[in-house]
Amino acid sequence: MALSKAPNESLFSTDLVITLVDHFWERYYSAIFMRCFIPYVIYFATAIYYVSNYTVEGIDPEDRWAMTPEFFMRWVILVSVFYFAFFEFVCVLRDGLTYFTDVFNYVDWGAFVLNVWLLYATSAY
């Protein structure tokens, strides 16, 4: 039985379990921080700036492929969406139907779809 599903919570107060949890948590924390959190901060900041400044007004059609900040942000957002969508696919395969019980997963997919659509609507004419 997995430790996380152990019926007796007092197991978690034993020295052995505390040491194991601390050890694995530090390892996973570091991996999550570098591979997920930092990329998300970049994705978040870029998407918020892009949507707040470009999507409502739109861009000049002639600037669609010009080397402007908007152009670079567009690609950062697109790559980020696929990067995080990959993680979500892995989660779907791992969790099965329980994946759909977490409301944050709907938030993720909602943001992915909307961001891709907004990139398209802003830059394509």
Please identify which residue in 11, 14, 27, 40 interacts with other proteins, judged by CB under 8 A. Answer: 40
- Is residue 44 close enough to count as binding other proteins by CB under 8 A? yes
- Is residue 111 close enough to count as binding other proteins by CB under 8 A? yes
| Structure-token pair, residue 118 | 């907004």
Q: Which long-range contacts (CB under 8 A, 24 or more apart) does 40-47 make?
A: 40/80, 40/84, 42/76, 42/80, 43/76, 43/77, 43/80, 43/81, 43/83, 43/84, 46/73, 46/76, 46/77, 46/80, 47/77, 47/80, 47/111, 47/115
As measured in angstroms, the least distance from the Cβ of 108 to other proteins is 7
Cβ distance to other proteins smaller for residue 5 or 67: 5
Cβ distance to other proteins smaller for residue 52 or 67: 52
d(CA 17, CA 9): 11
- Is residue 123 close enough to count as binding other proteins by CB under 8 A? no
As measured in angstroms, the least distance from the Cβ of 119 to other proteins is 10
Q: What are the residues binding other proteins (CB under 8 A)?
A: 29, 32-33, 37, 40, 44, 47-48, 51-52, 55-56, 104, 107-108, 110-111, 114-115, 117-118, 121
